[in-house]
């Protein structure tokens, strides 16, 4: 597993090529003026309303939700260009391994998603047909 700094948070967070996000040990000053030391740890994330993994990264005391797949891609490959999206090649929204991510134009990403949906519908139609045949026997 390889770790690289998160773009824009280079001294605070690292992301692995498998999709784990780690905070570094650091000391910050709280609003009351007291120092607070944060220990190194793997962050617990959550799934957003669309099923993608997210984590909260702090900057100057404010929490910013970030998509894990984007952190992985931008740290391990290259920052995205305007108009590019990241595609999960296997269709699994939670598989944020670098080998499963590719940058595509928004149009190409929409086309890939459409192909995957059509395959799922074809499989569903086939399974429904098998179920009907089984019921008729």
Query: What's the 3-state SS for 62-112?
Result: EEEEEEHHHHHHHHHCCCCCCCEEEEECCCCCCCCCHHHEEEEEHHHHHHH
How far is it, in rounded angstroms, from Cα 66 to Cα 72?
A: 11
Give domain 3-136's CATH number out of 3.30.420.40, 3.90.75.20, 3.40.50.300, 3.30.2320.50: 3.90.75.20
As a whole number of angstroms, the distance between CA 76 and CA 6 comes to 9
Helix, strand, or coil (residue 131): helix
Half-sphere exposure of 28 (CA within 13 A, CB side): 14
Residue 131's pLDDT is what? 82
Tell me phi and psi for residue 109, to 5 degrees.
Answer: -65, -40
Q: Do 68 and 54 contact (CB within 8 A), yes or no?
A: yes
pLDDT at 10 (0 to 100):
94
Other CB atoms within a 10 A radius of the CB of residue 84 amount to 17
**φ, ψ dihedrals at 132, nearest 5°:** -65, -45
- The reported pLDDT for the residue numbered 137 is 67
Please give the chain's pLDDT, 137 residues, in tens.
999 999 999 999 999 999 999 999 988 888 899 998 989 999 999 999 999 999 999 988 799 999 999 999 999 999 889 999 999 999 999 999 999 999 999 999 899 888 888 887 887 887 887 787 778 76
């Amino acid at each position: 597993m390889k770790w690289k700094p998160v773009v824009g948070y280079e001294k605070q967070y690292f992301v692995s090529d498998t999709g784990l996000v780690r905070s570094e040990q650091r000391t910050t000053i709280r609003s009351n003026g007291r120092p607070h030391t944060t220990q190194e740890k793997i962050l617990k994330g959550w799934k957003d309303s669309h099923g993608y993994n997210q984590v909260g990264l702090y900057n100057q005391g404010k929490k910013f939700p970030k998509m894990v797949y984007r952190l992985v891609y931008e740290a391990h490959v290259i920052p995205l260009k305007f108009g590019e999206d990241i595609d999960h090649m296997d269709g699994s929204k939670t598989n944020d391994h670098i080998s499963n991510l590719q940058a595509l134009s928004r149009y190409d990403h929409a086309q890939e998603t459409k192909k995957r949906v059509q395959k799922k519908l074809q499989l569903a139609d086939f399974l429904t047909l098998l179920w009907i045949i089984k019921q008729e026997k």
